[in-house]
Each structure stands twice: as C-alpha cells, then as structure tokens.
Amino acid sequence: MLQTQMRVLIADSHYLIAMDLERILTETLLCDVSLCPLTDLQTMLRSNSYDVVMVDAVSSLKINQQHVDAVNAAGSRPVFLTTINDFHQAYPDLAAYPLLEKPFDPDAVAAVISKLRDEIALARPVQ
C-alpha cells in the first residue's frame, strides 16, 4: 500500500525553531511541511488542509484550548510544541494531546508523527 506524505503545519512565532522542526520532518519522515507564525494559524487552517498541526503552546489554557478547537475543527491532529516544564501537569485538560519539548529530539518527533500517521491511516475508511 502506497503511503501518502503527511501534511504538517508548524505554527510557531520563533521562525528558526520552526525551521529546525521542518528540517527534522522533511529529512527523517518525508513530510510536506508548511510554516506560519502563530498569529496566522486560523488563516492557514482555512486556506489549506493538514494532517497534523504543530502549535507553539502559550501560558494560557484558554488560548491553547482555542488552538486545539480550531485544529480539530479543521480535521487535523494537534501537537503542542513547548518549553514549559511539566506542560501536561500545568494544563491537565490538554493532556490528551501529544507534546514535543524544545529543543526537539528527532527521535521524539519521529515517534509522535509516526503514531499519528498510524492513527490517521486506521481512521480512514477502506475503499
């Protein structure tokens, strides 16, 4: 079975950090990656379709939840990117969503994306 490329959006206001993650995704997992500042997340979700959206976590549960809601409404899978220690403990309502800590460990990135790729493949109807 031919596997399609994962379409990934990285929404992070720190462009160099986003570019580092893009490099990991394109070199190790052959993903089709788009980048945008966090402020452009809504616009990007309206204009394109993504399998996974990697969102820079902020120190506000309300804003993080708004980002999750927007990503889910677009039919994508959210992943948080953070430097916040114990993010899931600080925001237990968001513990169901994958998390990647900055600086990025390529093996951790690969594990999260591979797991999501498998989940997405299982959720697609058989034709």
- CA–CA dist 99, 115 (Å, integer): 12
84 Cα distance to chain centroid? 16
Give pLDDT, residue 124.
Answer: 74
Task: Work out the mean pLDDT of the chain and round it to a whole number.
Answer: 94
Residues 53/74, Cβ–Cβ less than 8 Å? yes
Domains and CATH numbers, the chain: 7-119 (3.40.50.2300)
SS3 101: strand
* Dmax (CA) of the chain: 43
Confidence at residue 108, expressed as pLDDT on a 0 to 100 scale:
97
1 pLDDT higher than 70: no
Structure confidence at residue 127 (pLDDT):
60
Pairwise CA distance, residues 75 & 61, whole Å: 21
Question: What pLDDT does 5 receive?
Answer: 87
pTM score, whole prediction: 0.93
In this predicted model, what pLDDT tens digit does every residue of 33-90 receive, in sequence order?
999 999 999 999 999 999 999 999 999 999 999 999 999 999 999 999 999 889 999 9
> Sorting pLDDT into bands at 50, 70 and 90, what band is 30?
confident
